[in-house]
Chain A
């Protein structure tokens, strides 16, 4: 079974940093785009960032550009999100999501269980 397990969330003060990790299993990680999507408590979904399978392309939402960095280690089947200069509006559940690979639809599937990041003093 495909599994995505996030870790590294928690409470951080405004201006602080946090690194999220996502351990992937059950599929050939190195073939897939990977994404981070967040959801504010009680609100909708916001795409955060994506990274191509070979790390050659990364994209970010304007709301996090310059503060967040997505990366991956294909040898460890792990996706990362380094979050710096955190703000209250970054408080959300962060999901690790598998994207497309060659020959697959341009969807986001599956999603990890999500991890809560709370930015507060």
Chain B
């Protein structure tokens, strides 16, 4: 199974900050990496697919990069509605696997 390691597991930031979350795969997955945002009590929503493609309707302050085993999600100018938990997920092979999540909290 491909293990997905996210870091940090949590971070504190302020509105307007630039935030970067990293995700490392235990083996190469090409660009088969998606990012999801989850707010309390809600289902996850896809933000970025295949490493760097922005899902329709997602603000352009979100961006993704990387390939192979190392990936990152960046939020430029953090907004109040961005405080949430973020997960990476590999779609390269089954079992599909998720990172442990990064909780972005208000400083």
Chain A residues close to B by CB (< 8 Å): 35, 44-47, 50, 59-62, 95, 100, 105-114
Contacts and interface: CB of A to CB of B under 8 A. Distances in A.
A108 B89 contact: yes
Interface string B41-76: 001111001100101000000000000000000000
B94 A50 contact: yes
Given A44-B87, A105-B49, A105-B53, A111 B43 contact: yes
Contacts of B46: 107-109
Please report whether the interface of chain A is mostly helix, strand, loop or mixed according to DSSP: loop
Interface of B: 1, 32, 34, 36, 43-46, 49-50, 53, 55, 87, 89, 91, 94-101
Nearest to B31: A106
The 5 A-B residue pairs whose C-beta atoms are closest, nearest first, are A111-B43, A106-B91, A47-B96, A105-B49, A45-B98
B18 to A, nearest CB: 25
A112 B98 contact: no
Nearest to B6: A44
Given A44-B87, A45-B87, A109 B45 contact: yes
Contacts of B98: 44-47
A45 B6 CA distance: 13
A111 B45 contact: yes
A22 to B, nearest CB: 12
